[in-house]
Amino acid sequence: MQFLKTLFWVALAVVLVLFASVNWNAVTLNLWGGLQVDIKLPILILIAFLLGLLPMLVVHGTRLWTMRRRLEAHERQVAVSSYAPAPPAPALDERVATDSKVWPAA
């Protein structure tokens, strides 16, 4: 299974390198105030991908954080309730002494 995972990542890296080498063209970006930037197309695509990925990573991280907090709170609650001592059972002598129907008083 590890071999297939490695093969997948190697194939993906080769495809990305081939895409970048074929599309290594300069692109002019028109920014505010007449400012222009020349940037290579694969770098622009990578920056756009990372800008789109960043908000989703933040959302994913916050959801994991809240779920871990909730899970830890539930685990603490279970741990506290499982360690609570059970009430002691009444002794046999106490039941006999308090129940007059079973043993009549002499």
Over the chain (106 residues), the average pLDDT of each successive run of 10 is 95 94 92 92 94 96 97 89 70 57 57
Q: What are phi and psi of 23, to 5 degrees?
A: -105, 30
CA 40 to CA 46: how far, in whole Å?
10
Q: Evaluate whether residue 89 is within a structural domain.
A: no
Residue linked to tokens 């002499």: 106
pLDDT value of position 103: 57
Domain that holds residue 64: 42-69
Sign for the CA dihedral angle at 88, 93, 95, 97 comes to negative
Q: Whole-prediction pTM value?
A: 0.60
Q: Evaluate whether residue 58 is within a structural domain.
A: yes
Over the range 82-104, which residues count as b (16 or more CB within 10 Å of their CB) and which as e? Answer: eeeeeeeeeeeeeeeeeeeeeee
User: How many domains are there within the chain?
Assistant: 1
Q: Evaluate whether residue 28 is within a structural domain.
A: no
User: What kind and span of H or E run contains 16?
Assistant: helix 2-22
